[in-house]
């Protein structure tokens, strides 16, 4: 694709493939498909440090072009698909993969077909896939059914699979670990991350491992992954037939990268835990109200996981902790409005009257 002169781009982040070309399977001839993904903020979270006694940082992946970390993998997957001559990519999705695949396919001028579980994906994600001209089909089954069919189609028809079972996705996603090591000068002691298919858990472990091999990092973080209690196959040690959770992005009963995730856990002295939906929503609220970062429910499980492990006494004082928060809160905004009794917050209505508004705001003494 067209690239402006190096001078013109010297202050602009160029997307993960160009930024990390020497650490990915690309050449000068690779037709890079990028929307400028990666280079996301790594922010201190003083409110969480105070609550836990640890030194807590948040990797804000909602700041990617389509609002989730999926873009890091999708730039690689669509680039490699185009390099191999693909005209159509296909994926199964709980929402964010479909939004990302449709956007990158649109940018590349190819077609994206996406299979999503009927009625189970957030409105923001559905509208993204449609907006980017994805061919979106709602399958009358769950995510795991969608992935089975997507794999079937890729094996038997001229379509290219861009789910995280595609190694190009994992390769692109490992760059988030590179960015963390670059920002801090080393890997953290603990890394907390949501787990659905466990592709991202696998990708970070690979990124850190490569940084250690390259001499950029001196240690492997303990990788702590979290699933929703109603959808926790890895924690329970068996597939969940009918996974249920409000965290729709991780509503997966039979993770594609299950085996890889178990070996990554063993390699990193890691951990998999399960968190109830009410704790996920509580953590989402803490992150938005006390840190200023709005994430979708699945992402908040990193925060809930930290609070749970900290209460369990597992996180030493002063430990460097990084939480990956995977997707933007605007993807699935309804949960932020929900009150404890299940009704929605109703913003106060006031007349056009300064004195009365001052009184309502508690400004008048």
Q: x/- binding map, residues 118-157, to ligand PLP, per CB under 6 A?
A: ----------------------------------------
Q: x/- binding map, residues 236-265, to ligand PLP, per CB under 6 A?
A: -------------xx---------------
Out of 81, 161, 298, 319, point to the residue binding ligand PLP (CB under 6 A). 298
CB-CB contact of 88 with 82 (8 Å):
no
Q: Is 243 or 319 the residue whose CB approaches ligand PLP more closely?
A: 243
CB of 362 to ligand PLP, least distance (A): 37
Distance CA(227)–CA(239), nearest Å, equals: 13
Out of 296, 303, 309, 310, point to the residue binding ligand PLP (CB under 6 A). 296
Asked if 299 touches ligand PLP (CB under 6 A), the answer is yes
The angle formed by the CA atoms of residues 191, 194 and 195, to the nearest 5 degrees, is: 115
Out of 327, 329, 335, 336, point to the residue binding ligand PLP (CB under 6 A). 327
Kindly give, in sequence order, each residue whose CB lies less than 8 Å from that of residue 25, ignoring residues fewer than 6 positions away: 80, 168, 171
Distance CA(333)–CA(119), nearest Å, equals: 16
Task: Enumerate the known binding-site residues for pyridoxal 5'-phosphate.
Answer: 96, 196-200, 326
Asked if 195 touches ligand PLP (CB under 6 A), the answer is yes
Distance CA(1)–CA(83), nearest Å, equals: 12
Q: Is 14 or 64 the residue whose CB approaches ligand PLP more closely?
A: 64
CB of 296 to ligand PLP, least distance (A): 5
Q: Is 217 or 223 the residue whose CB approaches ligand PLP more closely?
A: 223
Burial of 138 (0-12, 13-18, 19+ CB in 10 A): middle
Binding piece for ligand PLP, criterion CB under 6 A, among 38-46, 107-115, 190-198, 264-272: 190-198
Q: Return the structure tokens found at 258.
A: 């299950």
Binding piece for ligand PLP, criterion CB under 6 A, among 30-38, 82-90, 296-304, 348-356: 296-304
Q: Which string of DSSP letters, residue by residue, matches 326-360? A: -BBGGGSTHHHHB-TTSPBP-PPP--S-HHHHHHH
Q: Return the structure tokens found at 156.
A: 């038997």
- Taking CA atoms, 64 is separated from 22, 44, 77, in Å, by 22, 18, 16
Binding piece for ligand PLP, criterion CB under 6 A, among 38-46, 114-122, 194-202, 270-278: 194-202
CB of 200 to ligand PLP, least distance (A): 4
Q: Which string of DSSP letters, residue by residue, matches 13-77? A: ---HHHHTGGGTT--TTS----S------EEE-HHHHHHHSSEEEEEEGGGSTTSBTHHHHHHHH
Signed CA dihedral, 211, 216, 219, 224: sign only:
negative
- H or E segment and range at residue 301: helix 297-311
CB of 73 to ligand PLP, least distance (A): 8
Out of 197, 229, 302, 310, point to the residue binding ligand PLP (CB under 6 A). 197
Asked if 227 touches ligand PLP (CB under 6 A), the answer is no
Out of 68, 75, 98, 142, point to the residue binding ligand PLP (CB under 6 A). 68
Asked if 66 touches ligand PLP (CB under 6 A), the answer is no
Task: Enumerate the known binding-site residues.
Answer: 96, 196-200, 326
Asked if 98 touches ligand PLP (CB under 6 A), the answer is no
Out of 164, 229, 302, 310, point to the residue binding ligand PLP (CB under 6 A). 164
Kindly give, in sequence order, each residue whose CB lies less than 8 Å from that of residue 171, ignoring residues fewer than 6 positions away: 24, 25, 73, 76, 203
Binding positions for ligand PLP, rule: CB under 6 A = 68, 70, 96, 164, 194-201, 249-250, 296, 298-299, 326-327
């Amino acid at each position: 694709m067209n690239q402006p002169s190096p001078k013109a781009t010297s202050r602009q982040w160029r997307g993960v493939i160009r930024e990390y070309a020497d650490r990915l399977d690309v050449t000068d001839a690779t037709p890079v498909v990028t929307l400028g993904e990666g280079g996301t903020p790594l922010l201190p979270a003083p409110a969480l440090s105070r609550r836990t006694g640890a030194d807590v940082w948040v990797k804000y992946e909602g700041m990617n072009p389509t609002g989730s970390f999926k873009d890091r993998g999708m730039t690689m997957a669509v680039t490699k698909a185009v390099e191999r001559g693909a005209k159509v990519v296909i994926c199964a999705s709980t929402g964010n993969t479909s939004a990302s695949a449709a956007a990158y396919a649109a940018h590349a001028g190819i077609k994206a077909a996406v299979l999503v579980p009927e009625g189970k994906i957030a409105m923001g994600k559905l509208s993204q896939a449609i907006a980017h001209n994805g061919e979106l089909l709602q399958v009358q089954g769950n995510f795991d059914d969608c992935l089975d069919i997507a794999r079937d189609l890729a094996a038997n028809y001229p379509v290219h699979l861009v789910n995280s079972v595609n190694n190009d996705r994992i390769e692109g996603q490992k760059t988030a670990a590179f960015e963390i090591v670059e920002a801090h000068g080393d890997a953290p002691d603990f890394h907390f991350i949501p787990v659905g298919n466990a592709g991202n858990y696998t990708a970070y472990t690979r990124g850190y491992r490569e940084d250690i091999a390259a001499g950029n990092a001196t240690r492997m973080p303990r990788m702590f992954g979290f699933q929703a209690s109603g959808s926790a196959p890895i924690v329970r040690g068996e597939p969940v037939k009918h996974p249920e959770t409000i965290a729709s992005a991780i509503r997966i009963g039979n993770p594609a990268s299950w085996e890889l995730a178990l070996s990554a856990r063993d390699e990193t002295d890691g951990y998999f835990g399960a968190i109830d939906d009410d704790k996920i929503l509580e953590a989402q609220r803490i992150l938005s109200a006390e840190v200023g970062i709005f994430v979708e429910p699945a992402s908040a499980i990193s925060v809930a996981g930290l609070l749970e492990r900290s209460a369990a006494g597992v996180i030493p004082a002063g430990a460097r902790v990084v939480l990956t928060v995977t997707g933007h809160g605007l993807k699935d905004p309804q949960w932020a409005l929900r009150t404890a009794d299940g009704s929605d917050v109703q913003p106060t209505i006031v007349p056009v009257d300064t004195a009365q508004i001052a009184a309502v705001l508690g400004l008048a003494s």
